[in-house]
C-alpha cells in the first residue's frame, strides 16, 4: 500500500505516574521500561529520510519519565527540522515556576508543541492544577498548547473549577491554549462507562458528515515493543491490522514498502469508519449497530473486530471503490506545505471559548437522579 505519512509518534513507554481505569495501553508505574533512547534516535533519523514526515511526537505512558533523555531526543528531532510535540499528564508541573523551568529547557532544545490530558481518571493521580500550570507555561513560551479533558456520563470531574482560573481562561479565550472535551474510551477497565444521549447524538452527527480519520495512514506510531503502526495509536494494541511489522527486524522505509493493501483503511481515512459500517449493514442487515460509541476510534475498533463487516465489504465492494482509491492516490500527490502549529492546535475539534466548553462538558454528564 502506498503510504505517505506526515507524523512519527514515539510511544516511548507504557510506564506512567498514573494507572487510569480504561487506559488505552494499560499504563501504570509498574510497566516495564520502554524504547531505549538510542533506538528512538535511530527512528527519528530514519523518519528524516522520509521527506513527507514533518512532525515527531513523544508520548506514552508518560514521556517525561525519560528525564533529560527527553531533552536530547527533542533536540535530535529539532536538528532534523521536525516540529516536535509531547503528550503528558503534567505530573511534573507542580507549580507555575516549576513548569516554566522544565519547559524552558525543552523549548531551548527545539520543542514547539505541548499537549496535556486530564479528567476524572487522571485527577485521581495528578492534580488538575498541574495541567493548568504546564499549559500556561507552554503558552507563555509561544508553544502551541492544548489540553484534552476526558469525559463520560458518570464523571465527577469538576470542569468548572478546572477552567475557572483567571490566567488559564485568559489564554483559552485568546486561543493560545486550546481546550477540548473528548470521550473517555472503553478499554480493559473495571468501571462502567456510558455517555449521555445528547452527547452521543452530537458525536454521531459529527461523524455522519463523512469526516475521515486524519491520522490513519498518516501517523506512524512506534510502540514500546518497537512495532510500527499506521494510525495514531489509541486502539493500536486492539487492532492487529494497524501494525505493519517489527522495527527490530526492518527499517521504517522497508515496512512502509511492504505494507499490505487494505481498501478499508483507505475508506476510513477518507470518510471515517461509520461509512464502512453503514455500507456493510446494507449488505448484511444482521450486522448490529454498536451502542454507546462516542469516539470514532471505538467505531473503527468495532469494524476491525467484526470480521463479517470487512468480509461483506470486500465480497461486494462499493460502486465508487475505484473513485475512492483514486481520490486517495491523488491526495498523496498534494504538497503538505509548512506546518503551522498554532493554527493546527486551534482547529482541533472540541476547542472553543470558555462558555461553549462548559456547556459541552455539561452535555456529557447524566442528570443527577438524587431526591
Indicate whether 228 and 284 sit together in one domain.
no
What are 272-283's pLDDT values in tens digits?
Answer: 999 999 999 999
What is the C-alpha separation between 255 and 249, in angstroms, rounded?
9
pLDDT given at position 357: 67
What are 360-369's pLDDT values in tens digits?
Answer: 676 776 654 3
What are 254-263's pLDDT values in tens digits?
Answer: 999 999 999 9
pLDDT given at position 199: 82
pLDDT given at position 336: 56
Give yes or no for a contact between 165 and 133, defined as CB atoms under 8 angstroms apart: no
- 3-class SS shares of the chain: helix, strand, coil, % to 5: 45, 15, 40
**Does residue 314 fall inside a structural domain?**
yes
Average pLDDT, the chain: 90
pLDDT band at 12 (very low <50, low <70, confident <90, very high): very high
Residue 88 has pLDDT above 60, yes or no: yes
**Does residue 146 fall inside a structural domain?**
yes
**Does residue 294 fall inside a structural domain?**
yes
Mean pLDDT, to the nearest integer, of 300-308?
96
Beta pairing partners, 217? none
Indicate whether 218 and 351 sit together in one domain.
yes
**Does residue 370 fall inside a structural domain?**
no
Give yes or no for a contact between 77 and 84, defined as CB atoms under 8 angstroms apart: yes
Domain total in the chain: 2
Give yes or no for a contact between 238 and 246, defined as CB atoms under 8 angstroms apart: no
The rounded Cα 248 to chain-centroid distance in angstroms is 24
Indicate whether 220 and 315 sit together in one domain.
no
Mean pLDDT, to the nearest integer, of 142-155?
93
Indicate whether 192 and 240 sit together in one domain.
yes
Mean pLDDT, to the nearest integer, of 289-300?
89
Indicate whether 54 and 89 sit together in one domain.
yes
pLDDT band at 337 (very low <50, low <70, confident <90, very high): low
**Does residue 54 fall inside a structural domain?**
yes
**Does residue 369 fall inside a structural domain?**
no
Indicate whether 60 and 174 sit together in one domain.
yes
Indicate whether 40 and 157 sit together in one domain.
yes
What are 223-232's pLDDT values in tens digits?
Answer: 999 999 999 8
Mean pLDDT, to the nearest integer, of 309-326?
96
Indicate whether 292 and 254 sit together in one domain.
no
Indicate whether 299 and 166 sit together in one domain.
no
Long-range CB contact pairs, 92-101, < 8 A, 24+: 92/64, 92/130, 92/134, 93/130, 93/131, 93/133, 93/134, 93/137, 94/130, 94/133, 95/133, 96/133, 96/136, 96/137, 98/133, 99/130, 99/133, 99/134, 99/136, 99/137, 99/138, 100/137, 100/140, 100/141
Indicate whether 16 and 165 sit together in one domain.
yes
Mean pLDDT, to the nearest integer, of 38-58?
97
pLDDT given at position 237: 94
More confident residue, 341 or 38: 38
What are 91-101's pLDDT values in tens digits?
Answer: 999 999 999 99
**Which domain, by its residues, includes 276?**
263-332
Question: CATH number, domain at 117?
Answer: 3.20.20
pLDDT band at 298 (very low <50, low <70, confident <90, very high): very high
What are 158-178's pLDDT values in tens digits?
Answer: 999 999 999 999 999 999 999
pLDDT given at position 365: 62
pLDDT given at position 224: 97
Indicate whether 270 and 132 sit together in one domain.
no
Give yes or no for a contact between 297 and 234, defined as CB atoms under 8 angstroms apart: yes
- 47 burial type by CB count under 10 A (0-12 exposed, 13-18 middle, 19+ buried): buried
pLDDT given at position 317: 97
**Does residue 208 fall inside a structural domain?**
no
Residue 134 has pLDDT above 90, yes or no: yes
pLDDT given at position 118: 97
Residue 351 has pLDDT above 60, yes or no: no
pLDDT given at position 360: 65
Indicate whether 18 and 117 sit together in one domain.
yes
Mean pLDDT, to the nearest integer, of 309-337?
90
pLDDT given at position 121: 93
Indicate the pTM of the whole model. Answer: 0.91
**Does residue 81 fall inside a structural domain?**
yes
Amino acid at each position: 500500500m502506498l503510504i505517505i505519512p506526515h507524523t512519527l509518534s514515539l510511544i516511548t513507554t507504557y510506564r506512567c505516574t498514573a494507572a487510569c481505569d480504561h487506559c488505552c495501553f494499560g499504563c501504570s508505574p509498574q510497566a516495564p521500561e520502554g524504547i531505549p533512547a538510542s533506538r528512538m534516535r535511530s527512528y527519528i533519523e530514519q523518519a528524516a529520510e522520509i521527506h513527507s514526515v514533518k512532525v515527531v511526537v513523544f508520548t506514552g505512558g508518560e514521556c517525561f519519565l525519560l528525564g533529560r533523555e527527553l531533552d536530547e531526543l527533542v533536540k535530535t528531532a529539532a536538528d532534523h527540522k521536525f516540529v516536535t510535540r509531547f503528550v503528558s499528564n503534567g505530573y511534573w508541573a507542580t507549580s507555575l515556576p516549576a513548569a516554566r523551568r522544565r519547559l524552558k529547557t525543552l523549548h531551548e532544545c527545539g520543542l514547539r508543541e505541548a499537549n496535556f490530558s486530564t479528567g476524572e481518571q487522571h485527577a485521581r493521580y495528578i492534580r488538575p492544577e498541574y495541567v493548568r500550570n504546564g499549559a500556561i507555561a507552554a503558552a507563555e513560551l509561544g508553544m502551541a498548547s492544548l489540553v484534552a479533558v476526558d469525559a463520560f456520563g458518570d464523571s465527577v470531574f469538576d470542569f468548572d473549577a478546572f477552567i475557572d482560573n483567571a490566567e488559564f481562561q485568559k489564554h483559552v479565550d485568546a486561543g493560545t491554549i486550546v481546550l477540548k472535551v473528548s470521550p473517555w474510551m472503553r478499554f480493559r477497565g473495571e468501571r462502567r462507562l456510558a455517555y449521555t444521549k445528547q452527547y452521543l447524538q452530537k458525536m454521531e452527527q459529527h461523524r455522519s458528515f463523512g469526516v475521515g480519520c486524519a491520522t490513519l495512514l498518516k501517523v506512524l506510531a512506534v510502540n514500546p515493543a518497537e512495532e510500527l503502526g499506521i494510525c495514531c495509536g489509541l486502539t493500536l494494541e486492539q487492532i492487529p491490522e494497524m501494525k505493519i511489522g517489527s522495527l527490530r527486524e526492518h527499517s521504517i522505509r522497508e515496512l512502509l514498502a511492504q505494507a499490505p493493501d487494505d481498501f478499508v483503511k483507505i475508506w476510513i481515512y477518507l470518510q471515517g469508519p461509520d461509512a464502512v459500517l453503514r455500507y456493510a449493514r446494507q449488505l448484511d442487515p444482521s450486522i448490529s449497530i454498536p451502542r454507546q460509541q462516542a469516539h470514532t476510534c471505538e467505531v473503527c475498533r468495532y469494524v476491525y473486530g467484526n470480521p463479517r463487516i470487512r468480509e461483506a465489504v470486500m465480497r461486494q465492494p462499493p460502486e465508487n471503490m475505484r473513485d475512492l482509491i483514486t481520490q486517495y492516490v491523488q491526495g498523496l500527490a498534494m504538497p503538505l506545505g509548512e506546518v503551522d502549529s498554532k493554527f493546527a492546535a486551534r482547529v482541533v475539534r472540541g476547542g472553543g471559548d470558555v462558555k461553549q466548553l462548559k456547556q459541552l462538558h455539561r452535555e456529557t454528564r447524566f442528570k443527577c437522579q438524587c431526591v
